[in-house]
Structure formats: C-alpha cells, structure tokens
C-alpha cells in the first residue's frame, strides 16, 4: 500500500532533508521517494495536514502495559492504541504483569499478542524471578528470546550484590540493565515529596535522598564492574525516571568519567512540582513524587545539556477502585502515553524541536539497541507526524484507565498520526 505525506517539514538530525518541507512517498513500509510535488497512483492514501512535521518514530522506554493479568486496567491492544495516539511507534513494556515476564513463555505471549498492532512492543524482562529481588532469571535465554533490556520495573533493585552480579552477567552479550533508583526503607509509607509542602499537608514525605543514594550506589557498582576493563560505548546501566537535581548532577559527573550510563525523565515530572499536591488529587500521586521547583528546573537543564537522554511517559494505568479512594491508600501512577509530547511542548523551557525529537526518538532507540531509523529513501518507514503549533484539548482518553491529571487541559502541540511499517494510525 502507498502513503503520500504532503509538504511535511522533516525534523531528523540524521537526515539530509532535515529542516526542509518535502513530500514523502511510502510503499509497503519503505520510504520510496522524498521530493517536491510527488505524484502517485489514485489508490494511495494522501496525508495532507496543514503545518505537518514528521520525525523518526518516537520510542517510549517505560510503559506499564498490565497485560497479562491486569487487563481490566489495560491490555496490549488498548496500550498500543494509546501509544499511537501519543505519537509513539515503539514502546518498551515493564515486566510487572501476572505472571511476571521472567520466562520465555510469558515473553512469547507478549510477542504474539503484539503482532498486527500499530506500534512495536519491546518486552523488558525481569532481573529476578517474580521481580521479588532475590533469585536471578535466565537472562541469556530471555535475551535470545527477544528481551530488549532487564529490569524489575516498578520494584527498584535493593540488593547491591545482586545489582553488581547482574551488571557482570550482562557483559558477555552487552545487555542493558534499567533500574529506578529508590531506597525503599527511606520512602516507606511515603505519599509525596518530603519538604515544606508535605509538612503543611500532614503527609509522610519521600525524601529526594532516597533516590540520590541509590544513584550514587549504582554508579559506584557500575564503575567497580568495569575495573581493569574497557567499558562499552553503549549504555549498560540506565536510570529510569530521575526526579532530583542532585541525581542529575551525579549522572552528569558519571558521563564526564565516560561511564556507560544513561537516564530518562517522565514527562509529567517536567510539568508539576510538589505544590500541585495541595488539592489531594490522587491522579497526581506518582513515584517518584513531584519534587521542588528547583528540581524541575534542574531536570529541564539536564535535558538541555544532554545529561538526561530521553523522555518517557511512565504510563501506569489504574482503574477507579485504585484511584478514587483516600489519598494515602491510592495507587501510585498516571497514564501518560497520549500527553507526553503535548506536555513537553506546552511547558517547554527552551528546547528546540530537534532536541525534543532526539529525546523522544533517537536516543531511546540507541539505548535499546534498536535498528536506527532515518528519513531517507530506501529506509523503513517508522514515522511520527505532528503539528507543534496546534492547540487542542485533551477531552477523551483511549486508554482503558483514566487516571490522568490532564483531562480537560488545553495543550500546544498535537500528534497527527503515526506511520509504522505498513500501518497508518491517524489521531487528529
């Protein structure tokens, strides 16, 4: 099948066409031609959207798909629809399902269920059996079965010996470990960021120290794992959802030392600070929690200078029974796939479109070791179409769960659609 994208501004630092307005002709999932006023047969689908921009397909490094086991919250079909609506052509899904993705059988289920979806699903396998932080999984087998990375997902690795052994275990096949840094004993029973706001609201705080200690610990262990060895140029240890200024500075120093490390930030962490918790809205209850305005500013600075490699949705859907309850018993998490880009652009602190595309498409793909995607003739078509200037209101979510603070909000920057392989998903 043919698709013709009319007069699209190409945003792709890897492409010789970047910055230009061109027609793009796609046939059978391959970019056939790029040029001006291209012609095609009458059966082609023409995408002619005013001010359309096109970039390589966006990749989300952290999505909780809930399938298998929690399909009442989300399933692979609905999460892929939400991802496409948000402009993502690829999503990496966490292993915290029921059963946990700690075996080839469960991983195979994900791969089978992902066939024919409008986005590519990349399973992250568990580091430990049942993600309980005790016994290591058969990571080599899981790697060969299609796992793109290893993580206990929503359960940060607490045991330093286990984390070190994992780093050593992954070395022969250049595997990737993803970990959310949190010292669980310091955040036990916590509800929000520890600070003036938590004191005023009378809620148990979660100190930034809990994150910073673990970032420092993991970096020391990474350095130890490569004593007298030449570290690879690809990322070995990836920190998920940083939230504190000190954490950003620790990563910045580690990169100067050329440690094979990368990190990401959740889009909603760039929007809210802990003052937003005054209304006790459970849709704002996330982990890591929203921190101070100074922390938010440091996250933006980390994106600008390249310390933070990627932006993720940290999509974590929950049903009404988990959110429409008292704040202290509500589950952590919001849905973010459909609003990540719009939140980034609406609250942007000076990043160019090229920088945003780098954080959403290029660096995430490199971190996961996925095949590179570029807007060039003969390349596979994995494209995101968007209008950075259009204002729109997020009135309806296609996710099964509605635990988002953004419903009803007006944004600047709208996703028009995605074109992945030979499938086109229109959102506007």
CB 53 within 8 A of CB 385: yes
CATH top class, domain 57-367? alpha beta
**Which among 205, 301, 284 is positioned nearest to 245, based on CA atoms?**
301
Residue 367 tokens, joined: 């971190």
CA dist., res. 108 & res. 251, Å (int): 35
Domain ranges of the chain: 2-53+378-399+408-426, 57-367
Give the span between the Cα atoms of 159 and 157, in whole angstroms: 6
pLDDT given at position 403? 97
* Average confidence (pLDDT) over 269-277: 98
314, 319, 328, 358: the active-site residue: 314
Overall average pLDDT of the 420-424 stretch: 77
pLDDT tier for residue 304 given thresholds of 50, 70 and 90:
very high
Q: Decide if 319 is catalytic.
A: no
Nearest residue to 281 via CA among 384, 203, 214: 203
- Partners of 9 in the β-ladder: 21, 53
Cβ–Cβ under 8 Å, residues 415 and 85: yes
How would you classify residue 153: left for phi > 0, otherwise alpha for psi between -120 and 50, otherwise beta? left
Question: Over the stretch 9-49, which tens digit does the pLDDT of each residue have?
Answer: 999 999 999 999 999 999 999 999 999 999 887 788 899 99
Q: Give the Å distances, CA to CA, from 144 to 93, 107, 138, 188.
A: 17, 11, 10, 37
* Cα–Cα distances in angstroms (integers) from residue 213 to residues 185, 189, 196, 252, in the given order: 12, 18, 21, 15
8 A C-beta contact, residue 192 and residue 201:
yes
Locate the DSSP E strands across 270-398: 310-312, 382-393
pLDDT single digits (tens) 177-204: 999 999 999 999 999 999 999 999 999 9
3-state helix, strand, coil in the chain (%, to 5): 30, 25, 45
On whether the CB atoms of residues 23 and 65 are closer than 8 A, the answer is no
Return phi, psi of residue 426, to 5°: -95, 135
By the 8 A CB rule, do 45 and 381 touch?
no
Query: In terms of pTM, does the model score above 0.85?
Result: yes
Q: Has residue 428 got a pLDDT over 80?
A: no
Calpha distance 413→345 (Å, rounded)? 6
pLDDT of residue 233: 87
Q: Which two tokens stand for residue 341?
A: 């880009």
- Residues 109-158: pLDDT tens digits? 999 999 999 999 999 999 999 999 999 999 999 999 999 999 999 999 99
Mean pLDDT of 75-85: 97
> Residue 298's pLDDT is what?
98
Both tokens of residue 172?
A: 């022969």
Residue 423 has pLDDT above 90, yes or no: no
Q: How confident is the model at residue 160 (pLDDT cuts 50, 70, 90)?
A: very high
Is residue 58 within 8 A of residue 363, CB to CB? The reply is: no
- Measured CA distances, 338 to 139, 286, 350 (Å): 32, 17, 22
Pick the CATH number of 2-53+378-399+408-426 from 1.10.3720.10, 1.10.540.10, 3.30.1330.10, 2.30.40.10: 2.30.40.10
Q: 137 and 163 in contact (C-beta within 8 Å)? A: no
Q: Measure the CA–CA gap between 212 and 219, rounded to whole angstroms.
A: 11
Q: Hey, is 40 helix, strand or coil?
A: coil
Whether residue 305 has pLDDT greater than 70: yes
Query: In the block, which residue shows the tokens 């920057």?
Result: 413
The β-bridge relationship of strands 120-125 and 88-93 is parallel
Calculate the CA 192 to chain-centre distance: 22
CA distances from 73 to 86, 318, 327 (A): 18, 5, 19
Which pLDDT belongs to residue 421?
78
């Amino acid at each position: 099948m043919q698709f013709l994208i009319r007069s699209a501004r190409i945003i792709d630092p890897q492409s010789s066409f970047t910055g230009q307005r061109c027609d793009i002709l796609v046939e059978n999932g391959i970019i056939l031609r790029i040029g001006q006023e291209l012609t095609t047969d009458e059966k082609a689908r023409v995408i002619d959207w005013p001010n359309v921009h096109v970039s390589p397909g966006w990749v989300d490094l952290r999505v909780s798909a809930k399938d298998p086991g929690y399909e009442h919250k989300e399933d692979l079909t609905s999460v892929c629809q939400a991802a496409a609506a948000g402009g993502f052509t690829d999503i990496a899904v966490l292993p915290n399902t029921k059963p946990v993705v700690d075996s080839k059988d469960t991983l195979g289920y994900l791969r089978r269920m992902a066939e024919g979806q409008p986005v590519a699903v990349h399973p992250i396998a568990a580091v430990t059996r049942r993600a309980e932080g005790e016994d290591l999984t058969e990571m080599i087998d899981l790697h060969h079965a299609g796992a793109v990375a290893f993580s206990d997902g929503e359960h940060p690795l607490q045991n330093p010996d286990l984390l070190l052994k994992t780093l050593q275990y992954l070395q022969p096949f250049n595997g990737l470990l993803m970990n959310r840094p949190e010292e669980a004993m310091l955040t036990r029973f916590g509800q929000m960021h520890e600070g003036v706001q938590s004191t005023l609201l009378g809620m148990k705080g979660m100190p930034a120290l809990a994150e910073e200690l673990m970032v420092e610990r993991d970096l020391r262990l990474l350095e130890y794992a490569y004593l007298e060895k030449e570290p690879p140029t690809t990322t070995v240890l990836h920190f998920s959802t940083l939230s504190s200024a000190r954490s950003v500075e620790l990563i910045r120093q580690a990169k100067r030392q050329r440690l094979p490390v990368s990190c990401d930030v959740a889009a909603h962490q760039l929007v809210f600070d802990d003052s937003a918790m005054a209304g006790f809205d459970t849709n704002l209850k996330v982990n890591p929690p929203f921190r101070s305005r100074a922390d938010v500013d440091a996250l933006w600075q980390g994106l600008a200078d390249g310390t933070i490699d990627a932006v993720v949705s940290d999509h974590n859907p929950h049903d009404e029974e988990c959110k429409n309850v008292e704040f202290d018993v509500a589950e952590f998490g919001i849905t973010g796939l459909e609003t990540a880009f719009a939140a980034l652009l609406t609250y942007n602190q000076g990043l160019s479109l090229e920088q945003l595309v780098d954080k959403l498409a290029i660096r995430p793909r490199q971190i996961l070791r996925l095949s590179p995607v570029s807007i060039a003739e003969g390349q596979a078509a994995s494209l995101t179409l968007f209008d950075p200037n259009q204002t729109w209101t997020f009135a309806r979510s296609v996710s099964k769960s509605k635990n988002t603070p953004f419903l009803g909000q007006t944004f600047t920057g709208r996703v028009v659609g995605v074109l992945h392989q030979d499938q086109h998903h229109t959102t506007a």
